[in-house]
Structure 1
Amino acid sequence: MAKDMTLYWGAGSPPCWRVMIALEEKDLRGYNSHQLSFEKMEHKSKRVLDINPRGQLPTFHDGQLVINESCAVCIYLESNFKKQGNELIPTCPNEQALMYQRVFEAVPLGQKLGDVIYYEWKFPEGERHESAKERNKNAVALELSLWERYLKQTGPFLAGKTFSLADVVVFPNIAYAFYYGLCPERFPKLAQYYNLLKERPSIKKTWPPNWEERPSIKKTWPSNWDVKKDLLKELQNTS
């Protein structure tokens, strides 16, 4: 089984990390693991482009079957190895529906975090605007406030009382935010969630190696970030 699987991944990438967590949760160890360097542009190499024309990581294949979207890989692993390792999709229809919703909500969470964390990297100095940075900041503050509220409603996990595929998919993004200096006092439920899950064996085993090498990093956002009043009103009107 696992010996027929190959994963190309990059350290510190939340999409790559979620696939590695899923493989651990399903006891699929011994797969062919290839760590590539984003800095050296190895994700644009021929061996990756031959199976993933987008040149993105993770790139995964199980035998001849190629799957290149991280959430799709996680769903595939759980669906095809349901009775192996830990079951990650709840049997309760309501919890299952909530789990899938949270899985797909991870996409805007990741995008908004990236808009803030990588803004100065993406745009040359002459193309940066304080108004854009402010919009990105407010958008991610609102997004994180949503997840803070989700955990208040369901805690300690994202889809109920047990660890599920929602946590596999979303936790790397939450960890990413704290790695880049998110203030735990501003988001206490997210901080509690982060501290709980970072001790889980599958997460500890797959912890990004470059994070161990660089435990301290310049904060991306100030500790006094907050949601503006108009955004808070919008948040209160969302379901």
Structure 2
Amino acid sequence: MAKDMTLLWASGSVPCWRVMIMLEEKQLQGYNHRQLSIEEFMNKPQELLDINLRGQLPSFKHGNIIVNESYGACFYLESKFKNQGTKLIPDDTDQQALMYQRMFEGLTFYDKAATIVYYEYYVPEGERHDSAVKRNKEALVTELKLWEGYLQKLGAGSYLAGPSFTLADVVVFPTVANLFRYGLSAQRYPKLGEYYGLVKERPSIKASWPPHWVEDPKGDEDTLKDF
């Protein structure tokens, strides 16, 4: 099954990591994959465009089926292999509802985090505006407090939608991991810190950990140190 799958990905990319975690959780190791460097990605090689006309990552193909959007790929894999590996959609409808809510809130969470990183690394210093920096920071802090509250309400040792690891964790954890990579304080956000420590020990997370993070475990810890 996995031999019929192809994934093009980039190290540390949140959308790519979602799909890689999903493949691990569904015991689909052995799929064909290739990591694209930033330079390769920017040049839009034909093998990328053959799978993804938008020239984006991840690019995922299973046989003749192409599902490039990371949420879509995760839903597809859970549906296709629902009796294999980890069951990622709970039977309990209340837990399902919370899972779907947190999954799609995760898109806003990712957007707020990505905006900070984009502004820091890709907007020339001379083009930055203090008002935008302040607005982006306030938006992310508000978001972080929401997620801290969600985890506080669920209690110690909980995942995002309850006692079980679900699709919500598959798609949101890479955002959380990136935040701590960029220096988010576990002392300031202890529940997110606990959650990060819990999930990063899963075999699927360890197996898909971004290669350049392995090479440079410290990362850039100054970006979010004051958040």
- Do they superpose with TM above 0.5? yes
Q: Which residue number in structure 1 is paired with residue 224 of structure 2?
A: 221
Identity of paired residues, percent? 57
Q: 1:61-100 residue pairs with structure 2 within 5 A?
A: 61-100=61-100
Query: Cα–Cα, structure 1 residues 39 and 146, in superposed 2: closer, same or farther, change >3 Å?
Result: farther
Whether 1:186 aligns to 2:191 is no
- Structure 2: state its 5+ residue gaps: none
The answer to whether the 8 Å contact 1:158/1:166 transfers is yes
CA distance, structure 2, for counterparts of residue 222 and residue 89 of structure 1: 35
Which amino acid counterpart does residue 199 of structure 2 have in structure 1? L
User: Which segments of structure 1 move beyond 3 Å, counting only runs of 4 or more?
Assistant: none
- TM-score normalised per structure 2: 0.95
CA distance, structure 2, for counterparts of residue 198 and residue 43 of structure 1: 33
The answer to whether the 8 Å contact 1:43/1:57 transfers is no
Q: Aligned-pair RMSD on alpha carbons?
A: 1.3
Which amino acid counterpart does residue 148 of structure 2 have in structure 1? E
CA distance, structure 1, for counterparts of residue 41 and residue 190 of structure 2: 37
The answer to whether the 8 Å contact 2:60/2:68 transfers is yes
Which amino acid counterpart does residue 221 of structure 1 have in structure 2? L
Q: Which residue number in structure 2 is paired with residue 168 of structure 1?
A: 170
Q: Which residue number in structure 1 is paired with residue 32 of structure 2?
A: 32
Which amino acid counterpart does residue 223 of structure 2 have in structure 1? T
Which amino acid counterpart does residue 166 of structure 2 have in structure 1? S
Deviation at 1:105, TM superposition (A): 1.2
Q: 1:1-239 residue pairs with structure 2 within 5 A?
A: 1-41=1-41, 44-155=44-155, 156-218=158-220, 219-223=222-226, 225=227
CA distance, structure 1, for counterparts of residue 174 and residue 194 of structure 2: 14
Query: Cα–Cα, structure 1 residues 209 and 93, in superposed 2: closer, same or farther, change >3 Å?
Result: same
C-alpha deviations, 1:190-218, integer Å up to 9, x for none?
00000011111110111111001111233
Query: Cα–Cα, structure 1 residues 43 and 169, in superposed 2: closer, same or farther, change >3 Å?
Result: farther
Deviation at 1:62, TM superposition (A): 0.5
- Structure 1: state its 5+ residue gaps: 226-239
Which amino acid counterpart does residue 93 of structure 1 have in structure 2? T
Deviates more, 1:30-39 or 1:90-99: 30-39
Deviation at 1:120, TM superposition (A): 3.1
